A and B are shown apart, each in its own frame.
Chain A
Amino acid sequence: SYVLTQPPSVSVAPGETARITCGGNNIGRKIVHWYQQKPGQAPVLVISDDSARPSGSPERFSGSNSGNTATLTISRVEAGDEADYYCQVWDSSSVHWVFGGGTKLTV
């Protein structure tokens, strides 16, 4: 089945820009969604449909998707952005929802 690959960790200083990647074979042909999960909490959707921000998602969060890599970009990173981030696609071939392994963002 389809595999999504994320770096285990990303570290940035407050105020900088964090970029979290999600790799997959021709992922640019799929629609990618991103979730934020803080310790002890359920995941929260922060980017849908490659680059759309759901209601309540800060404007500092943006997404892109092309070729073999999708990217979640967090501008002007704040301490409160420290969390695990997961990418997700729907794989019509296997009829599965697929999650990446997750990336721990350290601020």
Chain B
Amino acid sequence: EVQLLESGGGLVQPGGPLRLSCAASGFTFSSYVMSWVRQAPGKGLEWVSGISGSGGDTYYADSVRGQFTISRDNSRSTLYLQMNSLRAEDTAVYYCAKGEYSSASGYFDYWGQGTQVTVSS
């Protein structure tokens, strides 16, 4: 059974950093692209960042490029999102999602339950 378990969310002050983790199980982690998708309160889904199965290719939404860094540790089957210089508009539930392929494209067939990030003083 595929499982994705996010952690690391919480309350952070504006300008501060936060690192999210997503522990994966039930599939060959290194064989699939992984992404982070966020949802601000009362809003729709926004793709944030993706990383190829090997970790050699990374992709970012324009809204977070230069601010967030995605990475993965295939030996630990874990996905990360390092978020720096956080702003109020980054407040959202952050979902970890498994892609269809090892490289970018396609759909997300499994999602975690999400972790809440709140940026506030």
Contacts and interface: CB of A to CB of B under 8 A. Distances in A.
Q: How large is the interface on A (under 10, 10 to 19, 20 to 34, 35 or more residues)?
A: 20 to 34
Nearest to A8: B44
B59 A96 contact: yes
B50 interface: yes
Interface string A90-107: 101001111111100000
Given A1-B62, A96-B59, A45 B44 contact: no
Given A88-B107, A96-B59, A42 B113 contact: yes
A54 interface: yes
A90 B61 CA distance: 13
Interface string A23-55: 000000001010101000111110011000010
Interface residues on chain B, size class: 20 to 34
B27 interface: no
23 contacts: A33-B106, A33-B107, A35-B108, A42-B113, A42-B114, A43-B111, A44-B111, A45-B107, A48-B100, A48-B107, A54-B109, A88-B108, A90-B105, A92-B105, A96-B47, A97-B37, A97-B108, A98-B47, A99-B37, A99-B44, A99-B45, A99-B46, A99-B47
Interface of B: 35, 37, 44-47, 50, 59, 61-62, 95, 100, 104-109, 111-114
Interface of A: 1, 31, 33, 35, 37, 41-45, 48-49, 54, 84, 86, 88, 90, 92, 95-102
5 tightest A-B contacts by CB?
A33-B107, A102-B44, A42-B111, A97-B47, A90-B105
